[in-house]
Amino acid sequence: MSTSSELYEVQIPDFEIPEARLCLTGWIVGSGAMVESGDPLCEICAEDIVVEIVARHGGIFHYAAVEVDDELATGTVIGTIELEFEGEN
C-alpha cells in the first residue's frame, strides 16, 4: 500500500457584492490541521458582512501567503487542502 496526495486550492468565492472590500479577519484552524468537509477555515469580511470559508474536502489544511487584514479578491487562493488517498503499490 502506498499513500499519494493531491492538493485542492481553497479560493475566495464570488460573494456577488459589487465593489465590496474583502478582508481576511481571522483563521479558525491552524496550518497543518486535519479538517473535514464543511469545517470552517477562516472568516472573511465583505463590507459589514462576516462570512466563514469552509472546507469542501477533508484533509490537511495549509495556509497560503495570506495574512489577517490582507485585502482579498474573488479567486484568491488562501490555502490548500492536502487530500490523501490509499492505493495499491
Are the C-beta atoms of residues 13 and 74 closer than 8 Å to each other?
yes
Listed residue (32, 7, 15) closest to 73, CA to CA? 15
What residue ranges define each of the domains in the chain, with the CATH number in brackets?
2-84 (2.40.50.100)
Confidence of residue 84 (pLDDT cuts 50, 70, 90): confident
d(CA 19, CA 10): 22
pLDDT at residue 87 greater than cutoff 80: no
- What is the reported pTM? 0.84
Are the C-beta atoms of residues 12 and 76 closer than 8 Å to each other?
yes
Average pLDDT for residues 62-88, to the nearest whole number? 87
Confidence of residue 85 (pLDDT cuts 50, 70, 90): low
CA 81 from centroid of its chain's CA atoms: 8
